[in-house]
Amino acid sequence: MQFKSTRGKVAGKGFVDTLLMGLADDGGLMVPERIPAVTDQTLASWRGLDYISLFLEIFALYVGDDIPREDLRAMAERSYGRFRDPQVTPLVRVKDGLHVLELFHGPTFAFKDVALQFMGELYSYVAQRQGEIIHILGATSGDTGAAAIEGVRGKEGIRICILHPHQKVSRVQELQMTTVDDANVLNLSVKGNFDDCQRVIKELFADLDFKSGHHLRAINSINFLRILAQTVYYFYAYLRLDEQARAGKVDFSVPSGNFGNIFSGYLAKRMGLPVHKLIIATNENNILEQFVKTGVYRSGDFRSTHSPSMDIQVASNFERYLYYLTGEDAVKTAAYMQTFHKDGEIVIEGEELAQVQRDFAALGVGNARCLETIADFKTQHDYLLDPHSACGVAAAEACGGTGETVITFATAHPAKFDEAIKLCEIEQEIPEPIQELFAKSQHQVVVDYDKAFIVRQLEAFYNGVNLVGGTEAHE
Ligand SMILES: *Cc1c(COP(=O)(O)O)cnc(C)c1O
């Protein structure tokens, strides 16, 4: 399998090169040259596979000869062996027509672990096999950073620097990132919001000399590896449904921010998974809801909500969907993105908008409704949702049709967001690995939103020099 860019100027790249490239050199996003088809017969033959075996079947369609299957298996076993549930992503039936797919059983208690545990293994493998220097650079609204750091801490040949918005991530998210004391980890806490952090990262990756000179590698959900790793649990969840549920219409409701997770669902559908509707659940940062309802994709004012990992106004993976919406027209995709860059909005109309509305339903869930959903779900089903997952449930209830089966994603463990749970007047038991974080010391550098200064911090870190300037915070 080879990969190409959504903007048409990069093509013929193998799986490992695609992993290393991250953002395509022409500014686009990497996609497969051709989406492999999974026939009904193949799908039926996958029934009963355990998570890792299913993972290997799906990856085999994309990896080609780049990595021997036994190496892939060893990496997958190490990655998913760290999950607290043997099923990796167990499917829980809550009531007729509603299932919760729990994606939070990894080391950092959020769904990002599913892709980033494996990505850490793969980067380490490539570093050893090809002698590559791997300098991971990423921005996080909280969960990506924690999961990425956990995936590569202490691994040889890899350094990782993560930017997060200062005091705009949850307490547990901050502790998960900053209590790591391995020398190959640098946390920059940026006085700004997530979009500011992401903007700096995007600019640095767009500077090809800087990118190659410093061996920069991405972990953001723009990396196709993450998209692919996430398609596995769409298949897994579907295959776990009983026959009756599978026979009807199956929707997925996905708490969304950067459009990564939901795009994995779109890819699964294009591969042949019989998905009826993909429901985009957002919070008050509802750019995606507006897009699905009106065809206008425009970032609005940034809102801080109970679900900070979805506090995002520019969805990095959106371009991948545009590419398929235009019928894989790279010229048109590039033009749309240029318009967005210039005017701050894209308008989709006519048949294209009709297609958007066939592919997706969407709901932006307000803060009050989010908390109500947590409280109601606890009362009715004795099941505690975190605020992100609650947005998914609220959207599932609003958008799922009668007789349809909705699989709604629990993207984080509620203990990660106890601030919101307390607002619902619910006391929860905090799992031990999270409790232990509060006793550890923190390592992070608080910096202004100043690109030049951030670059100097990075260069010092990549050159193995001790950090200067900023405020080293060890509170
Ligand atoms: C990252 C994250 C999301 C959003 O996922 P995207 O792939 O960015 O759409 C939702 N919920 C939680 C808990 C997350 O960490």
Write the pLDDT tens digit of every residue in 246-263: 989 999 999 999 899 999
**How confident is the model at residue 468, as a pLDDT?**
44
The pair of three-digit structure tokens given for residue 265, joined into one six-digit string: 């669902």
CATH of domain 87-109+225-423: 3.40.50.1100
412 lines ligand 1 (CB under 6 A): yes
Q: How far is the CA of 209 from the centre of ligand 1 (A)?
A: 31
Residue with tokens 């990262």: 201
Domain limits, the chain: 87-109+225-423
Question: The pTM is what?
Answer: 0.94
Q: Please name the helix (run of DSSP H) or strand (run of DSSP E) that holds residue 387, with its range, or none.
A: helix 387-399
Helix then strand then coil, in percent of the chain rounded to 5, is 50, 15, 35
With CA atoms as reference, report the closest residue to 235 among 95, 51, 103: 51
Task: Report the Cα–Cα distance between both ends of the chain, in Å, rounded.
Answer: 48
268 in Cβ contact with 275 (< 8 Å): yes
Give me the helices (H) in 153-216, please: 171-178, 194-206, 208-213
309 lines ligand 1 (CB under 6 A): yes
Q: How far is the CA of 41 from the centre of ligand 1 (A)?
A: 32
**How confident is the model at residue 475, as a pLDDT?**
37
Q: What is the DSSP string of 24-39?
A: -TTSS-EEESSPPP--
- Residues of the chain predicted below pLDDT 70: 466-475
Active site residues: 112
**How confident is the model at residue 198, as a pLDDT?**
86
221 lines ligand 1 (CB under 6 A): yes
**How confident is the model at residue 466, as a pLDDT?**
55
Residue with tokens 């909280």: 142
